Chains A and B, each alone.
Chain A
């Protein structure tokens, strides 16, 4: 009986298949006829500046052909606050909190990029422990940033649950930031010549515990996404960029590494404690959104690895340079010693002088190469400060990467840059 029924159903199926073939060819014929008669107009669509998935205020003008993007023109500057102009009127220490507001989801990385440039101009050596603490905090920031990115990217695509998982871990790390510097987002933790406060033992213990569990957490996120059919359909072979184009456009960070270029300043020009730890730079193959997702996941694992090695090797000693030309004197002495008080006062009011000259210094932040170009005229304020923001440069390739994809992909392409408008518009 079973056999009979199967024969029967296959007969029906065959019938349906035949009908489908007929219908299909009919449809094709109709479409072919239509093709010549349909008049298409240029269709312009305005997206933003207020749109939940633009991660800030970004406006894009889209020229559409049906649902396909023919051309897109990003309109930037809605969050332009003139950081570069303000910096010309501030002492170097006053600029550090301004850098917090560039890429406001990874403020520590911005602080790091800025103080490194000033230290390069000053030719200042930072104590060993400070270098390790800086590296640890920078890598914590990388994990925080990638967790935030993963949650929001998945949320943009429609997978809401990932967001809750990633924010659970992000919260733990932000608590650590709060212990270190009193703030969760606008941290203002790095100083020219070191860091503001030492990393206490209970934070070290907490970090060890976090790293212990973190690999399992990443596996947990991956169970939600790695082979999720919707995720694959929305990310595989979308926004593909070849290696040559990616270099030519000056892309950096995971956006460049997704195309297979292992350009990572931590390896190319090691700074901090990166030359004393072992880690890999993950690269992609296809240069699509999925590869860039995978790179960021892998980078989180590598960051955890770096943090563990740094914690193991953490040397003892001061976390701030003893060069009192740039570092503040001890608070206890300021209250009792007149000269120290004057010195403290001058550092606050006038700042420290930086020898004349100019330099560029790039730092590998979670989003890519964040560089500062500072021209000093020998005074306590920069003569000119230029911020090379990875989000801004990556946005230059937006038209190239969005061309030919569907209108719904626009949101995932914003997401794949990990764009933050605070940094893009400065």
Chain B
């Protein structure tokens, strides 16, 4: 077991669910309710000092009872070590605590997770859609039950023609493109 995981397990017994090492990455699994406390320790404690947030992302496992996995990738610049922290939430209450208070860079990352996967971040200062339009109503595009082609929202756009078609009619058909532009 990795020393960081060992010390986390000792310190946060009950909140710490396990750890895994593969391909040189350390992954720890923690309980969603206590995640914030562990993140604060990971950032503040000189033993861990994960001061740099690399990314916040999410994965959808529709078959699992705890459907969504939120993945936090943290890096320690002083110890040159990367850690992945994973938190599972259910579809009924997809809520985790926001870490914007610890890493300000998480603001946009969490907004993206909300936008793409529909996971709410409690205590986020400005939880809005970020990449999709504000009035997007089809749901959350990166969920596995969302079709690749979308759900037809785009078909409802009203179309505004750029040019009025003023080509002269020849034998009941419009003429060639030379006379296309309005005079």
Is this pair of chains taken from one and the same complex? yes
Hey, which bits of chain A sit against chain B, CB under 8 A?
Answer: 76-77, 80, 82, 84-86, 88-89, 120-121, 123, 245, 247-251, 261, 263, 268-269, 357-360, 362, 369, 371, 373, 375, 383-384, 386, 388, 392-393, 395-397, 400, 425-426
Closest to A81 in B: B131
A425 touches B131 (CB 8 A): yes
| Residues of A close to B103: CB separation below 8 A | 248-250
What DSSP secondary structure best describes chain A's contact surface?
Answer: mixed
| Residues of A close to B116: CB separation below 8 A | 84
| Interface flag for B18 (CB, 8 Å) | no
Identify which of B51, B60, B82, B133 contacts A360 (C-beta below 8 A): B82
Known contacts: A76-B130, A249-B105. The answer to whether A85 contacts B148 by CB under 8 A is yes
Tell me the bound Cα distance from A185 to B116 in angstroms. Answer: 29
B73 touches A360 (CB 8 A): yes
| Residues of A close to B59: CB separation below 8 A | 358, 375, 383-384
Q: A247-B51, A263-B52, A386-B55 are in contact. List 11 more A-B contacts (CB 8 A).
A: A77-B129, A77-B131, A245-B104, A248-B104, A248-B105, A250-B52, A359-B22, A371-B54, A383-B59, A386-B57, A392-B112
| Residues of A close to B25: CB separation below 8 A | 359-360
A19 nearest CB across to chain B (Å): 51
Closest to A121 in B: B23
A123 touches B23 (CB 8 A): yes
Identify which of A360, A369, A384 contacts B84 (C-beta below 8 A): A360
A263 touches B77 (CB 8 A): yes
Known contacts: A247-B77, A383-B59. The answer to whether A77 contacts B130 by CB under 8 A is yes
- Encoded as 1 (CB less than 8 Å from any A CB) or 0, chain B from 115 to 135 comes to 010000000000001111100
- Complex A-B: 13 CB contacts under 8 Å: A80-B131, A84-B116, A123-B23, A248-B51, A249-B105, A250-B106, A359-B22, A371-B54, A375-B59, A388-B54, A388-B55, A392-B112, A426-B131
| Interface flag for B109 (CB, 8 Å) | yes
Known contacts: A76-B131, A383-B59. The answer to whether A396 contacts B105 by CB under 8 A is yes
Tell me the bound Cα distance from A268 to B52 in angstroms. Answer: 14
- Encoded as 1 (CB less than 8 Å from any A CB) or 0, chain B from 18 to 45 comes to 0000110100000000000000000000
A81 nearest CB across to chain B (Å): 10
Hey, which bits of chain B sit against chain A, CB under 8 A?
Answer: 22-23, 25, 51-55, 57, 59-60, 71, 73, 77, 80, 82, 84, 103-109, 112, 116, 129-133, 141-142, 146, 148
Tell me the bound Cα distance from A397 to B105 in angstroms. Answer: 7
| Residues of B close to A80: CB separation below 8 A | 131-132
Tell me the bound Cα distance from A357 to B60 in angstroms. Answer: 14
A359 nearest CB across to chain B (Å): 5
A133 nearest CB across to chain B (Å): 24
| Residues of B close to A386: CB separation below 8 A | 55, 57, 71
| Residues of B close to A247: CB separation below 8 A | 51-52, 77
Tell me the bound Cα distance from A80 to B59 in angstroms. Answer: 19
A320 nearest CB across to chain B (Å): 22
Tell me the bound Cα distance from A393 to B131 in angstroms. Answer: 13
Closest to A89 in B: B148
| Residues of B close to A263: CB separation below 8 A | 52, 77
| Residues of B close to A261: CB separation below 8 A | 77
A250 touches B105 (CB 8 A): yes
| Residues of A close to B106: CB separation below 8 A | 250
B170 nearest CB across to chain A (Å): 38
B106 nearest CB across to chain A (Å): 8
A357 touches B104 (CB 8 A): no
B51 touches A395 (CB 8 A): no
| Residues of A close to B148: CB separation below 8 A | 85-86, 88-89
Tell me the bound Cα distance from A315 to B106 in angstroms. Answer: 43
Closest 7 CB pairs of A and B: A250-B105, A77-B131, A396-B108, A386-B57, A249-B105, A388-B55, A80-B131
| Residues of A close to B71: CB separation below 8 A | 358, 373, 386
B149 nearest CB across to chain A (Å): 10
A376 nearest CB across to chain B (Å): 11
Known contacts: A76-B131, A247-B77. The answer to whether A393 contacts B23 by CB under 8 A is no
Closest to B134 in A: A75
B126 nearest CB across to chain A (Å): 8
B124 nearest CB across to chain A (Å): 13
A393 touches B108 (CB 8 A): yes
A393 touches B52 (CB 8 A): no
B55 touches A360 (CB 8 A): yes
A166 nearest CB across to chain B (Å): 30
A373 touches B73 (CB 8 A): yes
A284 nearest CB across to chain B (Å): 16
A373 touches B57 (CB 8 A): yes
| Residues of A close to B73: CB separation below 8 A | 360, 371, 373, 388
A362 touches B23 (CB 8 A): no
B54 touches A77 (CB 8 A): no
A386 nearest CB across to chain B (Å): 4
Known contacts: A123-B23, A248-B105, A396-B104. The answer to whether A82 contacts B54 by CB under 8 A is no
